Amino acid sequence: MGKELIGAVCGFPREDYLLMSEIAIDSRFQRRKFGEKLVKKFEKVAFKKYNKIHVGALDNAIEFYKSLNYKPFLLVQFENGVYDKNDFSSFEVLSVLDYGIELNPINCNLIELKRLRNLYPKAKLQYIFTKRK
């Protein structure tokens, strides 16, 4: 019997952080701490060169990154002119971008994300999680 690939992770260097991307654990091995071990190994290597890691979480991974002490911000992407900073006045605005806005989330969970997607239907919303060295 040959070796099987249980999981994989890729990282993409950015200006001041490393973007963790394409993390995947074979479904047969999920819920056995392999994802946690893979992320911890990634962090060990990444923090040798970078002081910060970002990862965009799929909806079903929100609680996973929270459990690993990653801190969320909410990335809201939309076409120019659809929304503006004032549409998000109930949030702490972290950054205004050409393609959207980064917000400090009041709550970070799937129920809140679905609520916000209904509130801002012309935007793409995703939690981005960050961990610092």
Q: Which whole-number Å values give the CA distances from 1 to 4, 25, 26, 29, in the listed order?
A: 9, 20, 17, 17
Instruction: Look at residue 26 in the predicted model and tell me its pLDDT.
Output: 80
Structure tokens at 66: 């929270």
Q: Hey, where are the domains in the chain?
A: 7-132
Q: What is the CA radius of gyration of the chain?
A: 16
Q: Please state, in angstroms and rounded to a whole number, the distance separating the CA atoms of residues 90 and 5.
A: 45
Q: Is the pLDDT of residue 2 over 90?
A: no
Q: What is the pTM of this model?
A: 0.86
Whole-number pLDDT of residue 6: 59
* Range 69-82 average pLDDT: 94
pLDDT over 90 percentage in the chain: 58
- Who wins on pLDDT, 60 or 7? 60
- For the segment 112-128, the average pLDDT, to the nearest whole number, is 96
Distance (Å, whole) CA 60 – CA 28: 17
pLDDT at residue 29 greater than cutoff 80: no
Q: Binning pLDDT at 50, 70 and 90, where does residue 8 land? A: low
Q: Check residue 22 and give its pLDDT.
A: 74
Residue 1 has pLDDT above 50, yes or no: no
Average pLDDT for the chain: 88
**What kind of architecture, by CATH, is found in domain 7-132?**
3-Layer(aba) Sandwich (3.40)
What pLDDT score was predicted for residue 31? 81
Helix (H) or strand (E) holding 114, with range, is: helix 110-119
